[in-house]
Structure 1
Amino acid sequence: MGRAFAEMSIDAEIRVPLATAQLVRFDVFGPAAGVLPEGEDYRIDLSLTPRPSNARGCYHTHWNPHRFERLGKVYVLPPHETMQARSDGASSQTSILCHVKPDAMPEELLWNDRRLEASLDVRDSNVRALLLRLAHETRHPGFASKVLVELLVAQLGIELARYCERINDVPPNSGGLSTWRLRLIDERLREVRDAPTLTELAELCKLSVRQLTRGFRASRGCSIGSYVASSRIDHAKHMLLRDESVKAVSYSLGFSSPSSFCYAFRRATGVTPREFRQRIPTQQGLAGGSSLGGIRLDS
């Protein structure tokens, strides 16, 4: 290829016997395409800032080479797999990137087509919470950090195995939604504004509300209401990381008041927005787009 898919710099790193956790920044200089090469370990990536526009991936050794699925906030590249990745537009993006040895998994995971598709957008709150904790520990190592990272990696392996098992619990012909309908729903949820109603999403997918709710549960293993709520909390986390005020976040996401937003956030995460911001590296106190110990949150 004419130029690299992205330039990567490592801002912080912790190594333990079964894993390496890295805070990394990817600088993409325009529309890009490249290949994430196969390796011996799992590559687990949680984007702490938004991914480049229309980031998507293709397991080209398994799929039609024109089949690209959206990369979510968390993706997993299994061992000995390669992924073609594409994006539109320039971007600077920060991630917590974990290279996890297969021995950290409680059992060997088999990656069929449905699991590979699900690996590109791991929407599991436990997996995300563990990765955020790893990000914090990597940036701010403390007493017995390596012991803590080993424990977190062990938990991460268990949660990924459970995630894969849940995918197997949904049979291929279970009446789930087609990929293009799921993509439309995800695209709507990426918009930072009021949460969509069931009627709006049903009209978007050209289905009845009943067909939408039943099909969505069959596809994703959860209600569409809980999925929408989780998406709003994810938006809120990213906005808080960018040092937006609680009031601004609450009204941008369509909450009736800051107090109702704080209640929903605490119920979903176990902490208040203020506590969340204190626990995760932010831009607070920075001027002129400078970095905080190597973590850059401006896009």
Structure 2
Amino acid sequence: MAVAHTPLPGRIEIAHERRLPLATAHIARFEIAEACERVMLETEVFRLDMSLTPRPAAVRARYRDHWTAHRFEPIGGVYLLPPGQALQVRCVPSVTTSLVCQLRAEQISEQVGEEIEWSDRQRAQTLTGGSPQVRPLLRRLLAELREPGLAHEAMIELVTAQLALEVGRFAAQGANTAAAGGLAPWRLRLIDERLAEGGGTPSLSELAGLCNMSVRQLVRAFRESRGCTIGEHIARGRAELAKTRLQGDESIKAIARALGFATPSSFTYAFRRATGLTPRAYRGSIGSARAD
């Protein structure tokens, strides 16, 4: 099953691997030695990853060819990586264990029966597993890998076939509901470009004018497209910009001013709400990682 991942600084150990006609499943232990960014790109499979240990809160990802440079979103306990979708992941030093199931894309495409088109909202949903039916099936698969029971191979084949069906159903939503009620790609691009300029936070009226629509229409359509409010999206984007600046030598006061915060304390509050750390603590954690 072909992959095109950039190298991971650390070590990966594989256990309980099973190769089946429709899928490959294994338990993987990831030892990441240092903070890094890597691109994950599957070419022939849908990759499902269920973390068996807490996934670090600082891990973020963006679809490189579809999202703007500052749009990194959290990865949930389960994520789905479709084939042909380059996922840029920000990793942190950690030791984690995951159940990884790779489902053959050819089989799922046959189930869907037409070319799969991914909406922006679907891409965001993949970072939390896509279909809610996926997690219980992965748990059943995990139990069979760890403690094989009667008709073990047959059970694993049955579970992976169900996983393929659920992933296929989720993928098929793109053909039926992509962008339904949401913002057109060009409007999302205009909003992201305006937010990437930095400076003061744009008002809803400004963004609505930019998109040539009413504030009410903008708010409703943006949530439909991105699965969050404009305020939540802005907070995430500014937190990512702040992380980049905190890696340099700028003072926290200067960073707060550059990002449009009225005071350093309001910047600290917003950053801690988005990341769980104060700007000073985040800068300290980067220094510790570098020193190690």
TM bracket, shorter-chain basis: 0.5 to 0.7
State the Cα distance separating 1:100 from its structure 2 match. Answer: 0.5
Shift of the 138–98 alpha-carbon distance from structure 1 to 2, 3 Å rule, reads: same
Aligned 8 A contact 2:38 2:89 in 1: yes
Instruction: Report the 3-state secondary structure (helix = DSSP H, G, I; strand = E; otherwise coil) of the residue aligned with 1:54.
Output: coil
Residue in 1 that maps onto 2:138:
131
CA distance in 1, matches of 2:230, 2:81: 20
Matched, 1:40 2:51: no
Q: What residue in structure 2 maps to residue 200 of structure 1?
A: none
> Whole-Å Cα distance in 2 between the matches of residues 101 and 3 of structure 1?
23
Partner of 1:122: 129
Superposed, 1:232-271 pairs within 5 Å as none
- Preserved CA contact (<8 Å) 1:104 1:153: no
CA distance in 1, matches of 2:230, 2:10: 28
In structure 2, give the amino acid aligned to 1:55.
V
CA-to-partner distance for each residue in 1:243-278, whole Å, 9 max, x for gaps? xxxxxxxxxxxxxxxxxxxxxxxxxxxxxxxxxxxx
Matched residues in 1 for 2:9 and 2:37: separation? 5
* Alignment match, 1:95: 98
Give 2:203's aligned residue: none
Whether 1:19 and 2:23 are equivalent positions in the alignment is: yes
1:49 aligned to which of 27, 47, 53? 53
Where does residue 63 of structure 1 map in the other structure?
67
Provide the TM-score with structure 2 as the length reference.
0.55
| Residue matched to 1:238 | none
CA distance in 2, matches of 1:165, 1:184: 31
* Paired amino acid for 1:99: Q
Shift of residue 85, structure 1, vs aligned partner: 0.6
CA distance, structure 1, for counterparts of residue 9 and residue 61 of structure 2: 13
The residue aligned with 1:147 is 154
Candidates 7, 11, 14, aligned match of 2:11: 7
Name the amino acid aligned to 1:144: A
Please tell me the residue identity of whatever aligns with 1:127. Answer: V
Q: Which has the higher helix share?
A: 2
Aligned match of 2:83 in 52, 76, 79? Answer: 79
Partner residue of 1:208? none
**Which segment drifts farther, 70-79 or 117-126?**
117-126
Is the 1:18–1:103 contact (alpha carbons within 8 Å) kept by the matching residues of 2?
Answer: no
Q: Aligned equivalents of 1:139 and 1:183: distance in 2?
A: 43
Pairwise CA RMSD of aligned residues?
2.8
Q: CA 1:157–1:29 in 2, change beyond 3 Å: closer, same or farther?
A: same
* Residue 158 (structure 1) shift: 2.2
Q: What is the SS of the residue equivalent to 2:38?
A: strand
Residue 181 (structure 1) aligns with: 232
Letter in 2 for 1:181: E
Q: Distance in 1 between matches of 2:125 and 2:152?
A: 31
Contact map agreement 2:130 2:170 (CA 8 A) in 1: no
Offset, 1:47: 0.7
Aligned pairs, number: 183
Shift of the 119–57 alpha-carbon distance from structure 1 to 2, 3 Å rule, reads same
Cα gap change, 1:180 to 1:158, in 2 (>3 Å): farther
Task: Name the SS of the counterpart of 2:59 in structure 1.
Answer: strand
Letter in 1 for 2:136: A
Q: By how many angstroms is 1:119 displaced?
A: 0.9
Q: Structure 1 residue 184: deviation in Å?
A: 7.9
Amino acid in the other structure paired with 1:102? A
Gaps of 5+ in 2: 1-5, 184-219, 237-292
* 2:50 and 2:100 in contact (8 A); partners too: yes
Q: What fraction of aligned residue pairs are identical, expressed as a percent?
A: 35
Secondary structure at the aligned position of 1:81 is classed as coil
Aligned partner of residue 24 in structure 1, secondary structure: strand
3-state DSSP of counterpart to 1:95: strand
2:285 counterpart residue number: none
Instruction: Give, in angstroms, the shift of residue 182 of structure 1.
Output: 7.4
Distance 2:52 2:234 in 1: 22
Mark the runs of 5 or more structure 1 residues left unpaired by the alignment: 186-299
Preserved CA contact (<8 Å) 2:48 2:129: no
